[in-house]
Amino acid sequence: MGAPVVLGIESSCDETGVGIVSGGRLLAHAVASSMDEHARFGGVVPEIAARAHLHAFNPVVREALDRAGLRMRDVDAVAVTTGPGLSGALQVGLAGAKTLAYAAGVPLYGVHHLAGHVAADTLEHGPLPDPCMVLIVSGGHTSLLLVRDLVRDPILHLGDTVDDAAGECFDKVARVLGLPYPGGPAIDRAARAGNPCAVAFPRPLTGPRDDPYAFSFSGLKTAAARWAERHRQSGEEIPVADGAASLQEAVADVLTRKALAACRAYEVRTLVVVGGVAANSRVRALAEERCAAARVELRVPPLTLCTDNGAMIAAVGDLLVRAGARPAQLDLSIDPSAPL
Ligand code: KG4
Ligand code: ZN
């Protein structure tokens, strides 16, 4: 008999993701996104996201199983995101997961969305070293975590954003610059033609008296909005590429500077960068440069596993199953504002 097959379900925001993992290996995954439906509102609309999950759930489960060449009867456990995230969106995923687990007669495991982001990297690079530093940067989170053993030890939360998340900053500034939603990838593309030194955007919370592991991005967003407004008022065209490159530089600088300071302070030799913003080309390049200089190993999962997906939830489920963790009961609830 082979390793147990775990089907993971993610529905905390605008992606319906289903992944299948067995023995630490990704067999297949599929993702449907309702991003386009939110684009004209400039952000995720919870009600629309929840309906889209309802629509996508069965097709995405089927697609993932088909890609793996498996049927539901081959699945040994179901894992599902219980939080944090949008409550309506989480409820659709959880109801679907419960139904699948109950019908297939297999155990159900609740998974923390951020643990999923961390575990995504194991699917590409194997088990995480103990300890490792994890920088989670997405549309909803900017956190520095000290991780020992994802299943057995509580994650030590070193710092968080005090206001906006890094991805949120990209999304909001993109809007000001007239770039499409989601803003992160649009800023990344626009920045290619720009000068990262053109605008001296602030580096928030990097002073000697500031919390070394706390982040703040709302001031950066305001600075970018003011800069754009000054151009608009003087009737000039906004130099979008320069603004995008300079903003990206500021965000990448602050993120990598703090992550490496944490590695140094806690004597950690491995930095894992996960979440949607880990897809940013400047964040990746600067992380590589600074990790090499500090002799810290850098691990970044491939782009498709950086953004929300079901494979990362299956990866945690797989670790839980193999560690002999106790499954959830069928009255398992969502926890939209779950702490780590
Ligand atoms: O992890 P994710 O898919 O969803 C959660 O927020 O949990 O992250 C989405 C965020 C969005 O804010 C998006 O703009 C950002 O990741 N993002 C990027 C890039 N690709 C996605 N930000 C900067 N550069 C990118 N290339
Ligand atoms: Zn996420």
- Supply the CATH number for residue 150's domain: 3.30.420.40
C-beta of 182 in contact with ligand 1 (< 6 A) = yes
Q: What is the pTM of this model?
A: 0.91
C-beta of 143 in contact with ligand 1 (< 6 A) = no
Distance (Å) from CA 138 to ligand 2 centroid: 6
pLDDT value at position 281?
95
Whole-angstrom Cα Rg for the chain: 20
Has residue 244 been placed in a domain?
yes
Q: What is the largest CA-CA distance in the chain?
A: 71
Give residue-wise pLDDT tens across range 67-92: 999 999 999 999 999 999 999 999 99
Cβ atoms of 160 and 145 closer than 8 Å? no
160 and 225 in a single domain? The answer is yes
275 and 139 in a single domain? The answer is yes
* Residue 217 Cα to chain centre, angstroms: 17
Has residue 339 been placed in a domain?
no
Q: Of all protein residues, whose CA lies closest to atom 8 belonging to ligand 1?
A: 276
155 and 269 in a single domain? The answer is yes
In terms of Cα–Cα distance, which of 242, 262, 310, 252 is closest to 286? 252
Alpha-carbon distance 82 to 80, whole Å?
A: 6
Cβ atoms of 44 and 51 closer than 8 Å? no
48 and 104 in a single domain? The answer is yes
C-beta of 277 in contact with ligand 1 (< 6 A) = yes
83 and 182 in a single domain? The answer is no
144 and 62 in a single domain? The answer is no
pLDDT value at position 135?
97
Q: Near ion ligand 2, which residues have CB within 5 Å?
A: 138, 308
62 and 108 in a single domain? The answer is yes
Cβ atoms of 46 and 86 closer than 8 Å? yes
**Ligand 1 binding pocket mutation candidate from 307, 308, 312, 313 (most atoms within 8 A of CB):** 307
Number of domains in the chain: 2
Has residue 337 been placed in a domain?
no
Cβ atoms of 137 and 277 closer than 8 Å? yes
Q: What is the ipTM, given to two decimal places?
A: 0.98
Identify the domain containing residue 255 by its residue range: 127-300
Give residue-wise pLDDT tens across range 114-151: 999 999 999 999 999 999 999 999 988 899 999 999 88
90 and 74 in a single domain? The answer is yes
Question: Hey, what's the torsion of the CAs at 263, 266, 269, 275, to 10 degrees?
Answer: -50
Cα-flanking dihedrals φ and ψ of residue 80, to 5°?
-145, 145
Has residue 99 been placed in a domain?
yes
pLDDT value at position 303?
86
The ranges of the chain with pLDDT < 70 are: 1, 340
